[in-house]
């Protein structure tokens, strides 16, 4: 038909909308149109004569086939040909790109034109999804174990795969026609997914015995909006989680029961153990023979060890369930470190191991944190070092890692020359109930909890703890802790601002046989700007006569204080005297409790002599040198400036003092009298509640035991109305463990009686600062006094030593009626059994206040014995207990220790209705009468201090 019109035939083929390729009987290309070139990229010239299979068919694994099976090659039989006249194929274009094509095979029977087949093809991707892909997708949904649902908006289920229909059949539908296994708010979720065009995930449903998590995915199809819903069964996962949670709860309950048992057991054992330790101390002060003293010392040592074990268990019982919290209060860093010298002095002396300190003087003077727990970690590490060190030294090194205006990070290292720890044993040291090896427990004792507790405490301080050790060469245990900085003044700056050296003397001659002690002192001197010149011996110093001539440069001489030093010191002294030179300070270092004194024939000015016992406290040498050579007024002026700042910080603050004891109210008012705070009082918790409702107070000092409404009840009511009201407990019964009870009762802080003036001022100043900065987000319980000392002897060592004849019979002191001649121009430290010095220290050495309080005591309690006897006769135990409790606190404030002890015993007998009540009552009344006589006598002699 087109034989005479070839151009028309060519034009018709090239304008055909599909690609066309003609094949001969061998499958070779005989023609192609422009559309075929456009789709495949091959020109007609490139395709002519090529076998279509070799040119076009994909070699990809999924679509590869040989020429015999290719539908374009013409080898199929008639049945196969009919099934392959329409198929999808992946062909390769001229650029090597795979194309998904929809192919039809035509057989026009044009033998005269050598055309056996005509291929017509289009690109699947330009139209709808290919049939192949459609079948694949349909099969995926059909055979998927995942339930799939397709919902057309607004809410019409268009498709559900078999897995979904099975769920519908098994679990049914709710009243709204929604399958029960789907979210009940499905309609809202579908609307949200479509509106937000966001996939919604983790929509969980628990129904009957199955759990599913559903995902909703919005999409458009044929210009219509759908939401596809996919489900994931999590039944077994949730079952496993529930079982795990239940097992966890069971384990936690068991752990809590164990911790509760440990805590109760520790408390129950500790109470009688405290009595054993206390009475052993008392027994040691009585007259005994050497064998009895030895027995008592063994009881004391064994009891102390047992108390340490009990304290470890008690701490562990709190740490393990996460119930231990740290305080955040201000404390003096250097004082916290110096406690170690007091605690381990005996141990260092007995073992012959030197305990030395090297404290970086750049550390801040005042920091905030938990002083008790910070100290506990140091004590535990030093105690361990003593266990494993037989000779040499233990050095406590404290230095800053980071110093900033608001906080700092401090590193403490405990270095020893002990036996060292093998590397393979170091990793497990900080695990609970673990020691270096099994023989360690048998040889050295302990629970294996100490280092574990230390690790937990350090971690609570946002720090870390570790050890470096080499077997046979000693160990270095270290920890780092974060502390707040309340005063940017360093330890050094605080000291140098307090003291000013009068002379230009800057040289210190150092004669110390122990190199570690010598190095520690050298570091101290260097920090304070003093030059040290070291000598191997005193003889070497004497031989260098130039130092006699240069005495004007010598600020001090530091040496071991023993008999061996006397010869060269006397020779040096003679040189100074003969040359008419001024004597420098002579500082002697002696072992603990050796009580060595320089002989009088030494002829060294007594005012220039100082003696220090080992272990030397950090900076004590320099502080003493500065004190001896400073201008006297500097320290007082620095203290006065601090007090002035504190008074100014309380200007305008309203303080309510609540106590049923007039004596105690008067005491607190007097102690705060110098502040600019507005002070008010209430004599019972009930009146305190009324006053708080009438006006506002910045903080309240609340007694605990009061007759009509106690401090607990009053604080509860006050806190219900104003949770931010600061209430500070005043208690005579503060022991370790009460801290948690006070916090639970709503108190923000507590102060132990007898009230210490400095601690009261520190506490008030701390809370005034917190209130001023409106930083009330965190309740902080300040440790102003802890009645229990962990691991070691008491820290509250009296600054004024008690005479030996008094100390030996402390428990049997009786108030003597003997007329004693005293110097009434000064108040004595002790007067006929009254601990005057101790009482004055509590109230800031305010002698006029002491006289005033004693006058109140004698006036108010002269007839109290009659009131007490009447209450007991009327079987009014509450009134009797309150009377005795009040006198106990007042006596403690005045230093009437024997009366306080009698009151304590009587109060306990009243509370427990003890058979010993009559005996304790008799002792109390007699001691009260004696105390009143002594106080009257004291007031008569020292009444001039009332002015």
Average pLDDT over residues 488-516: 71
Topology, domain 239-319 = Helix Hairpins (1.10.287)
The confidence score (pLDDT) of residue 465 equals 92
User: Which ranges in the chain are annotated with CATH 3.40.50.2300?
Assistant: 501-631, 638-772
**Which positions ≥6 away from 717 have C-beta within 8 Å?**
689
Average pLDDT over residues 174-194: 89
The confidence score (pLDDT) of residue 785 equals 34
Q: Does 640 have pLDDT greater than 70?
A: no
Taking all residues of the chain, what is their mean pLDDT, rounded to a whole number? Answer: 76
Highest mean pLDDT among 178-192, 485-499, 559-573, 843-857: 178-192
Per-residue CA distances from 438 to 184, 434, 467 (Å)? 62, 9, 20
726-756 per-position pLDDT tens digit: 898 887 654 444 555 676 677 887 777 767 6
**Which positions ≥6 away from 890 have C-beta within 8 Å?**
661, 663, 664, 853, 857, 861
Topology, domain 501-631 = Rossmann fold (3.40.50)
Please give the Cα distance from 731 to 723 (Å, whole number): 21
The confidence score (pLDDT) of residue 654 equals 87
Tokens encoding 357:
């300190």
In the DSSP assignment, the letter for residue 734 is -
Please give the Cα distance from 885 to 258 (Å, whole number): 36
Q: Does 570 have pLDDT greater than 60?
A: yes
The confidence score (pLDDT) of residue 481 equals 94
Going by pLDDT thresholds of 50, 70 and 90, the confidence category of residue 797 is very low
Please give the Cα distance from 715 to 678 (Å, whole number): 21
Q: Are 702 and 711 in contact (CB under 8 A)?
A: yes
Residue 95: phi, psi to the nearest 5? -90, 10
The confidence score (pLDDT) of residue 877 equals 83
For 6-133, the fitting CATH number among 3.30.450.20, 3.20.20.70, 3.10.520.10, 3.30.2310.20 is 3.30.450.20
The confidence score (pLDDT) of residue 824 equals 61
Q: Does 312 have pLDDT greater than 60?
A: yes
> What global pTM score does this model have?
0.45
Q: Does 265 have pLDDT greater than 70?
A: no
Going by pLDDT thresholds of 50, 70 and 90, the confidence category of residue 792 is very low
**In the CATH hierarchy, which top-level class contains the domain 815-946?**
mainly alpha
Tokens encoding 819:
């007329």
From 156, 166, 258, 171, select the one nearest 211 (Cα to Cα).
Answer: 171
For 144-233, the fitting CATH number among 3.30.70.520, 1.20.1250.20, 3.40.50.450, 3.30.450.20 is 3.30.450.20
Q: Over pLDDT 90: what percentage of the chain?
A: 10
Please give the Cα distance from 393 to 531 (Å, whole number): 25
Q: At what angle do helices 864-873 and 917-942 cross, to 10 degrees?
A: 170
Rounded to whole angstroms, the maximal C-alpha distance in the chain is: 159
User: Which ranges in the chain are annotated with CATH 1.10.287.130?
Assistant: 239-319
The confidence score (pLDDT) of residue 476 equals 93
537-551 per-position pLDDT tens digit: 777 777 776 776 676
Per-residue CA distances from 248 to 235, 253, 254, 678 (Å)? 20, 9, 10, 54
173: left (phi over 0), alpha (psi -120 to 50) or beta: beta
Q: Is 557 exposed, middle or buried (0-12, 13-18, 19+ CB in 10 A)?
A: buried
430 or 614: which carries more pLDDT confidence? 614
Q: Are 447 and 312 in contact (CB under 8 A)?
A: yes
The confidence score (pLDDT) of residue 803 equals 30
The confidence score (pLDDT) of residue 259 equals 65
Residue with the two structure tokens 């015995």: 209
The confidence score (pLDDT) of residue 808 equals 31
From 180, 264, 174, select the one nearest 214 (Cα to Cα).
Answer: 180
Q: Does 504 have pLDDT greater than 70?
A: no
The confidence score (pLDDT) of residue 86 equals 79
Per-residue CA distances from 880 to 729, 730, 734, 876 (Å)? 23, 21, 22, 6
Per-residue CA distances from 39 to 19, 22, 34, 44 (Å)? 7, 16, 9, 12
466-484 per-position pLDDT tens digit: 999 988 889 999 999 999 9
Q: Which pairing describes strands 699-703 and 585-590: parallel, antiparallel, or unpaired? A: unpaired
Helix locations, 507-562, DSSP H: 515-527, 538-543, 546-549
Q: At what angle do helices 877-894 and 847-860 cross, to 10 degrees?
A: 150
User: Which ranges in the chain are annotated with CATH 3.30.565.10?
Assistant: 329-493
Q: Is 801 exposed, middle or buried (0-12, 13-18, 19+ CB in 10 A)?
A: exposed
For 329-493, the fitting CATH number among 3.40.50.2300, 3.30.390.10, 3.40.630.30, 3.30.565.10 is 3.30.565.10
For 638-772, the fitting CATH number among 3.40.1410.10, 1.10.10.10, 3.40.50.2300, 2.30.30.760 is 3.40.50.2300
Q: Are 742 and 750 in contact (CB under 8 A)?
A: yes
The confidence score (pLDDT) of residue 97 equals 76
In the DSSP assignment, the letter for residue 684 is S
Q: Does 818 have pLDDT greater than 50?
A: no
The residues facing 484 across adjacent strands are 368, 407
């Amino acid at each position: 038909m087109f034989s005479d019109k070839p151009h028309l035939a060519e034009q018709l083929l090239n304008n055909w909308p599909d690609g066309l390729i003609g094949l001969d009987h061998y499958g070779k290309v005989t023609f192609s149109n422009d559309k075929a070139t456009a789709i495949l990229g091959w020109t007609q010239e490139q395709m002519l004569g090529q076998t279509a299979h070799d040119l076009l068919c994909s070699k990809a694994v999924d679509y590869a086939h040989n020429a015999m099976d290719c539908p374009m090659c013409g080898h199929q039989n008639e049945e196969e040909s009919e099934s392959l006249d329409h198929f999808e194929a992946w062909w390769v274009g001229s650029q090597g790109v795979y194309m998904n094509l929809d192919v039809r095979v035509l057989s026009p029977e044009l033998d005269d034109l050598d055309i056996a087949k005509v291929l017509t093809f289009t690109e699947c991707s330009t139209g709808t999804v290919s049939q192949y892909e459609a079948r694949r997708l349909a099969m995926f949904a059909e055979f998927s174990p995942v339930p799939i649902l397709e919902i057309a908006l607004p809410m019409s289920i268009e498709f559900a795969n078999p897995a979904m229909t099975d769920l519908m059949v098994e679990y049914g539908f709710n009243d709204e026609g929604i399958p029960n296994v789907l979210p009940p708010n499905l309609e809202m979720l579908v609307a949200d997914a479509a509106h937000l065009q966001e996939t919604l995930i983790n929509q969980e449903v628990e129904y009957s015995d199955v759990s599913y998590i559903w995902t909703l995915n919005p999409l458009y199809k044929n210009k219509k909006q759908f939401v596809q819903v996919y489900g994931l069964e999590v039944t077994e996962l949730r079952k496993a989680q529930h079982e795990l949670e239940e097992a966890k709860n069971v384990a936690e309950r068991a752990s809590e029961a164990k911790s509760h048992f440990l805590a109760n057991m520790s408390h129950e054992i500790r109470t009688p153990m405290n009595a054993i330790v206390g009475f052993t101390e008392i027994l040691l002060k009585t007259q005994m023979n050497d064998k009895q003293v030895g027995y008592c010392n063994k009881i004391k040592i064994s009891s102390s060890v047992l108390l340490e074990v009990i304290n470890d268990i008690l701490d562990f019982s709190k740490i393990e369930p996460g119930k231990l919290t740290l305080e955040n209060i201000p404390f003096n860093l250097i004082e916290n470190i110096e406690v170690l010298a007091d605690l381990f002095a005996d141990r260092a002396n007995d073992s012959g191991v030197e305990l030395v300190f090297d404290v970086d003087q750049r550390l801040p003077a005042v920091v905030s944190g938990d002083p008790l727990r910070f100290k506990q970690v140091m004590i535990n590490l030093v105690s361990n070092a003593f266990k494993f060190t037989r000779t040499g030294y233990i050095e406590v090194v404290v230095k800053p890692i980071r110093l900033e205006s608001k906080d700092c990070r401090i590193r403490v290292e405990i270095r020893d020359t002990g036996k060292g720890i093998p590397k393979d044993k170091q990793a497990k040291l900080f695990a609970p109930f673990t020691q270096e090896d099994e023989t360690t427990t048998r040889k050295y004792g302990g629970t294996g909890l100490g280092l574990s507790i230390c690790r937990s405490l350090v971690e609570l301080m946002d720090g870390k703890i570790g050890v470096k050790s080499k077997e046979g060469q000693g160990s270095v245990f270290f920890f780092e802790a974060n502390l707040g900085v309340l005063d940017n003044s360093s330890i050094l700056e605080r000291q140098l601002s307090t003291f000013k050296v009068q002379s230009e003397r800057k040289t210190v001659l150092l004669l110390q046989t122990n190199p570690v002690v010598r190095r520690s002192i050298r570091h101290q001197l260097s920090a304070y700007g003093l030059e040290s010149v070291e000598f191997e011996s005193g003889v070497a110093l004497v031989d260098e006569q130039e130092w006699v001539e240069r005495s004007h440069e010598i600020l001090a001489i530091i040496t071991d204080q023993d008999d061996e030093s006397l010869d060269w010191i006397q020779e040096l002294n003679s040189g100074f005297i003969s040359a008419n030179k001024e004597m420098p300070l002579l500082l002697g270092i002696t072992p603990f409790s050796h009580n060595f004194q320089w002989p009088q024939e030494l002829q060294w000015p007594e005012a220039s002599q100082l003696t220090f016992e080992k272990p030397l406290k950090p900076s004590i040498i320099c502080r003493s040198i500065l004190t001896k050579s400073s201008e006297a007024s500097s320290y007082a002026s620095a203290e006065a400036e601090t007090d002035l700042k504190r008074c100014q910080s309380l200007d305008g603050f309203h303080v309510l003092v609540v106590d049923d004891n007039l004596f105690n109210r008067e005491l607190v008012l007097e102690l705060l009298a110098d502040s600019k705070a507005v002070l008010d009082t209430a004599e019972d918790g009930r009146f305190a509640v009324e006053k708080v409702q009438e006006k506002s107070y910045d903080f309240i000092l609340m007694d605990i035991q009061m007759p009509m409404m106690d401090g607990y009840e009053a604080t509860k009511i006050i806190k219900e109305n104003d949770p931010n009201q600061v209430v500070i407990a005043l208690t005579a019964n503060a022991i370790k463990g009460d801290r948690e009870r006070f916090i639970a009762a709503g108190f923000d802080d507590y102060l132990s009686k007898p009230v210490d003036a400095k601690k009261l001022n520190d506490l008030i100043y701390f809370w005034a600062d917190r209130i001023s900065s409106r930083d009330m987000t965190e309740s902080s319980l300040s440790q102003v006094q802890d009645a229990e000392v962990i691991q070691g002897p008491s820290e509250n060592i009296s600054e004024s030593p008690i005479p030996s004849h008094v100390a030996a019979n402390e428990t049997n002191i009786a108030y003597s009626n003997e007329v004693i001649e005293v110097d009434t121009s000064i108040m004595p430290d002790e007067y006929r059994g009254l601990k005057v010095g101790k009482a004055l220290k509590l109230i800031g050495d305010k002698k006029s206040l002491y006289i005033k309080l004693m006058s109140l005591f004698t006036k108010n309690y002269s007839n109290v014995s009659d009131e007490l006897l009447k209450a007991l006769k009327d079987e009014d135990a509450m009134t009797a207990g309150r009377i005795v409790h009040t006198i106990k606190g007042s006596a403690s404030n005045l230093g009437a220790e024997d009366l306080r002890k009698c009151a304590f015993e009587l109060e306990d007998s009243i509370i427990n209705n003890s058979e010993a009540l009559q005996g304790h009552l008799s002792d109390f009344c007699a001691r009260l009468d004696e105390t009143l006589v002594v106080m009257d006598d004291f007031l008569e002699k020292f009444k001039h201090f009332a002015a």
